[in-house]
Amino acid sequence: MRDFYRRHQLILAPMAGITDRVFRQLCREQGAQFAFTEMVSAKGLSYANEKTAHLVDLGPDETEVGVQLFGHEADTMAAQAAWLRERLGDALAVVDINMGCPARKIVTKGDGASLMQRPDEAAAIVRSVSSAVDVPVTVKFRRGWAEGDETAPEFAKRMEDAGAAAVTVHGRFAQQMYRGGAEWGVIARVVQAVSIPVVGNGDVKGGADAVRMRAETGCSAIMVARAARGNPWVFARCAAALEGRPEPPLPTYEERLALARRHARMLEETYGRRIVKMRTDAMWYVSGIPGATAARRELSACTTADDFCDVLDRLEESIRGREDA
């Protein structure tokens, strides 16, 4: 796996409702070197639920991808990992097991970050999934479950002993959700605790952050999550900084709106009526742009790519009007 991460320094995180095939393409164009599909329910896949299965559909030019499964039943997790391997073939490069999601609807079912409270069960899942597929199995988790109780280094070691080929560490406690800042020191402590590669995650918002995380933690790669929302350019900035090049300038308002329009068109072409998910995506693109508050009200009612583009066109016209005033 160390060679894998030498080739994949910048990774797009598996974000539910976000990292569909369109968003993955836009991020890859800007420098993401590897991308995960959306987080997928193993139980949902086991029901042959097409609403779940479509989450792992790949783009026509997508030849390498990671899939993150969540669940707590070892047999189900293993069976669905094997199904993913059969469905995606050689395009499946990594199966990641989610043990870090803090969302209430996930942890109340015993999935996600709640597994950090049950390391024996977590290890059993890793062993089962590893035995079911011939691709690397990795684990993503947090600093610990309860605020103030850091368990990540010991947990990482347990996952390594169970067969995990690498781990990703988010520097917040599960109970912390997304409050406060991510503690990167825990990533460094996990690096010291295990011999497998460690991916750092949490609060990387630009090139300087990526350089500092790598220097301070010794992590093998960096995973970007929320900072990529409406901002695929974050990967170009991180890539430049990691390579010692000047970071490209931040996108202009016009560039952001142009990509938002393209995003909407691509979503409609790919998903048809499910383009309504663009309502959320569009909010990220317009964040901080003068006039965005009024535009958000209109965007929340859009149902077609034309609707979105009309609102975005009017917002761009208002920006030009302000500049000419």
CA distance 38 to 47: 18
* Phi and psi angles of residue 269, each rounded to the nearest 5 degrees, phi first: -65, -35
Using one digit for the tens of pLDDT, what is the confidence trace for 255-309? 999 999 999 999 999 998 889 999 999 999 999 999 999 999 999 999 999 999 9
Determine what percent of the chain is predicted with pLDDT higher than 70. Answer: 98
For residue 242, the one-letter residue type is L
Using one digit for the tens of pLDDT, what is the confidence trace for 189-219? 999 999 999 999 999 999 999 999 999 999 9
Would you say 319 and 293 are in contact if contact means Cβ atoms under 8 Å apart? no
Please compute the mean of the pLDDT values over residues 10-32 and round it to a whole number: 96
CA distance 4 to 64: 12
Would you state the structure tokens that stand for residue 298, as one six-digit string?
């209109």
Count the neighbouring beta carbons within 10 Å of the beta carbon of residue 148: 9
Sign of CA dihedral 267, 268, 270, 272: positive
**pLDDT tier, 108 (very low <50, low <70, confident <90, very high otherwise):** very high
Sign of CA dihedral 159, 163, 168, 174: negative
Using one digit for the tens of pLDDT, what is the confidence trace for 109-122? 999 999 999 999 99
Using one digit for the tens of pLDDT, what is the confidence trace for 56-65? 999 998 999 9
Of the residues 101, 219, 238, 302, which is catalytic? 101
Please compute the mean of the pLDDT values over residues 180-190 and round it to a whole number: 97
Is pLDDT above 90 for 169? yes
Structure-model confidence comparison of residues 48 and 74, the more confident one = 74
pLDDT at position 47 is: 85
pLDDT at position 110 is: 97
CA distance 88 to 92: 6
pLDDT at position 274 is: 82
Nearest to 245 by CA among 190, 208, 282, 199: 208
DSSP state of 36: B
pLDDT at position 324 is: 59
CA distance 312 to 297: 12
pLDDT at position 2 is: 86
pLDDT at position 207 is: 97
CA distance 164 to 295: 46
Please compute the mean of the pLDDT values over residues 42-49 and round it to a whole number: 84
Q: Which residue has the tokens 């047999």?
A: 75
pLDDT at position 191 is: 98
Average pLDDT, rounded, for the chain: 95
For 96, the 3-state DSSP assignment is strand
Nearest to 292 by CA among 273, 274, 319: 319
Would you state the structure tokens that stand for residue 48, as one six-digit string?
């042959």
Determine what percent of the chain is predicted with pLDDT higher than 90. Answer: 91
pLDDT at position 323 is: 66
Using one digit for the tens of pLDDT, what is the confidence trace for 79-97? 999 999 999 999 999 999 9
In the annotation, is 238 catalytic? no
- Residues of 181-219 as b/e, b for ≥16 C-beta within 10 angstroms? ebbbebbbbbbebbebbbbbbbbbebbebbbebbeebeb
Is pLDDT above 80 for 51? no
Is pLDDT above 60 for 325? no
**pLDDT tier, 49 (very low <50, low <70, confident <90, very high otherwise):** low
pLDDT at position 85 is: 96
